[in-house]
Structure 1
Amino acid sequence: MGEKYKAKIFKSGNSLALRLPKALGLEEGEEVTLVPHDDGSFSFWRQDRAREVLMGLYGSMSTGFMADGRDDTAQGERDWSRDATQAA
């Protein structure tokens, strides 16, 4: 893991802004993708590297990942004879 940096959140108009250290090498106006995680942490990367990040995830799942299936795909029968424009 690389160096750790502190960042400060401040109010900017009706939004919150995150002030990042210059040492991170980001440029003014550069776009980043910010992803919140369930544990309260965040990941972010440069928008122009989004494809590279996505492709880096390929093959990173463990061998047994979803070995037992998703267990959430069972669905009841549907009535396809109904007009799709009618309210349910």
Structure 2
Amino acid sequence: MGKEYTAKSFKSGNSVAIRVPAALGIEPDREWAVEWVDGNLVLRAKPTAKRKIDISGFAGKAPGIRLAPREDFEERPSAIAARKAAGLP
């Protein structure tokens, strides 16, 4: 196995925490699965989630690009009546 390090547990709010030595190379802000097995504390790194990109702010920002008209909904009868009352096609 590898080199053994000593760590001390301490109270942090309503939890008990153990600091992990930086020499182990564990990156911060990572999620871990913690399990108590036969008197041993077992830590397993959870797989990192893929980052998602929010593209909602991009619509209409590119110059020269025209968005296709929405054709996924039927026009409301009230909108048709208002258009005809205004004399529009």
TM-score (normalised: structure 2): 0.48
For the pair shown, which has the larger CA radius of gyration, 1 or 2?
2
TM-score (normalised: structure 1): 0.48
